[in-house]
Structure 1
Amino acid sequence: MTRPLIIGLTGSIGMGKSTVADMFERAGVPVFDADAEVRAMQGPDGELIAAIEKAFPGSTGAEGVNRDALGKLVFGDREALTRLEAIVHPAVARKRAQFLTDNADAPILVFDIPLLFERGGHEAVDTIVVVSAPPEEQRKRVLARQGMTEEKFEHILSLQVPDAEKRKRADHVIDTGTSLEETEAQVVALIEQLSASRE
């Protein structure tokens, strides 16, 4: 039996990656959402709460991790961020391995990984799909988010591989600067193309 073709889906903040991941799912492709797994593990009764509270006292409560409190503790502090990642990343890797086992008979799988290039995850996938939109569209989407400021946006961008670089390193680019229908058509066409290449 051949193993599934693994798509690494990535894109900078505000590019529409989550929307594209939903489109893959609607088309019947199982999607592993790294961010959603982290949110679940950091939510009420999440399996990472105790370890995070121990490393960052006062950052959790009845609702799980207080993202604002934890954010303030790691924002701009490389060493603190590294400590947090040492708790989170191995747990995500275990969840991903389980997802692979559970979907071993699917022809194609998607790993939705925001920091695919930044964390070296691109080496663990078969093909890379980058979700991209024009910079002005990206800015408009991100600044419309609750609690987002120009400063936060610029800081997030500074931690991410630039969009132009991601597009250069991609095997496929999904353009979300168009209508949702056009974006979905690109996703469906890509699934067909990748499926055909497996036959």
Structure 2
Amino acid sequence: MKIVGLTGGIGSGKTTVAGMFKALSIPVYNADKEAKILMNTSDSLKNGILKLFGEKAYEKGSLNRGYIAGIVFKDKEKLKALNELVHPLVRSQFLSWIDMQSAPYVIQENPLIFEKNDQNLFDYVITVTAKKEDKIQRVMDRDGIGESQVLERMDNQLDDSLKIAGSDFVIYNESLENTRKQVYDIHQQLLQ
């Protein structure tokens, strides 16, 4: 079974593309979503986060995402420390998840493949990209935040050109019809 990484900057359309692969019966593991679940359910992870960020890290037993985002997107060391707590657990869970799949290939949707230097953990890497102004607008619409907050988050991610250079496939997400065609073409290649 081939293991494919699906990455791209914030607002690029990774989740939209992942949905297109799911429509082709390809299992997709969303690393961000699973990380958020683990941060709310794993006692060892919760304890590490509380040590790192203090009592405000959780409100009524749930991760205070706004509070943590306000810290990590301004402090690269805190972001690195959080990633070092979360990513080994996500990786371990992903490997267990793979064992339960029977498709010709699986996809891990993960925005940080290149930031974590994890590209070698995958047989293939797909990067989703889009125009910067489109990405900014998508995130503002999705998260209800201002442009400066989106740019702050973008500053913590590698430039798309570096991700593209290290990828096996690139999807230019500009129109849904064209994106769907690119996904189908890559799917056909991965089936070979």
Could you say whether these structures have the same fold, taking a TM-score greater than 0.5 normalized by the shorter chain as the test?
yes
Q: Which residue of 1 aligns with 2:30?
A: 33
AA of the residue aligned to 2:68: L
Letter in 2 for 1:107: P
Partner of 1:133: 130
1:46 Cα deviation (Å)? 4.7
- Structure 2 Cα separation of the partners of residues 148 and 81 of structure 1: 20
Structure 1 pair 127/33, CA: closer, same or farther in 2 (3 Å)? same
Is this contact kept in 1: 2:136–2:147, CA < 8 A? no
Indicate the larger mover: 140-149 or 22-31: 140-149
Deviations 1:132-171 (A, max 9, x none): 1122322222232334222222222222121223223221
Output the CA distance in 2 between the equivalents of 1:46 and 1:135. Answer: 36
Shift, 1:18, TM fit = 0.5
Matching of residue 152 in structure 1 with residue 149 in structure 2 = yes
Give the structure-1-normalised TM-score. 0.86
Question: Which amino acid counterpart does residue 181 of structure 1 have in structure 2?
Answer: E
Q: Aligned partners of 1:70 and 1:135: how far apart in 2?
A: 25
TM norm structure 2: 0.89
Q: Which amino acid aligns with 2:109?
A: D
CA distance in 2, matches of 1:184, 1:42: 33
User: Shift of the alpha carbon at 1:63?
Assistant: 4.7
Tell me the distance in 2 between the aligned counterparts of 1:190 and 1:80.
Answer: 37
| 1:131–1:175 contact (8 Å) kept in structure 2 | yes
Question: For the residues of structure 1 that align with 2:151 and 2:133, how far apart are their CA atoms?
Answer: 14
For residues 111-130 of structure 1, what are the structure 2 equivalents within 5 Å? 111-130=108-127
Match of 1:84 in 2: 82
From 44, 69, 81, the equivalent of 1:71 is: 69
> Where does residue 165 of structure 2 map in the other structure?
168
Q: Which moved more, 1:154-163 or 1:19-28?
A: 154-163
Residue deviations 1:27-56 (CA, integer Å, cap 9, x gap): 11111110010111123x454323322332
Q: Percent identity?
A: 33
Q: How many residues align?
A: 190
> How many angstroms apart in 2 are the aligned matches of 1:83 and 1:162?
21
Checking the alignment, whether the CA contact within 8 Å between 2:113 and 2:119 is kept in structure 1 is: yes
The alignment's C-alpha RMSD in Å is 1.8
Structure 2 residues not aligned, in runs of 5+: none
* TM-fit CA distance, 1:84: 1.6
Quick check: 2:5–2:119 contact (8 Å CA) kept in 1? yes
Q: Is 2:73–2:153's contact at 8 Å kept on the other side of the alignment?
A: no
Matching of residue 55 in structure 1 with residue 52 in structure 2: yes
C-alpha distance in structure 2 between counterparts of 1:147 and 1:46, whole Å: 28
Please list every run of 5 or more consecutive structure 1 residues that lacks an aligned counterpart in the other structure: none
Q: Which structure's residues are more often helix, by fraction? A: 2
- The code of the aligned residue for 1:106 comes to A
| Contact 1:49-1:64 within 8 A present in 2 as well | no
* Equivalent in 175, 185, 191 of residue 181 of structure 2: 185
* Secondary structure at 1:173 match in 2: strand
Which one is further off, 88-97 or 149-158?
149-158
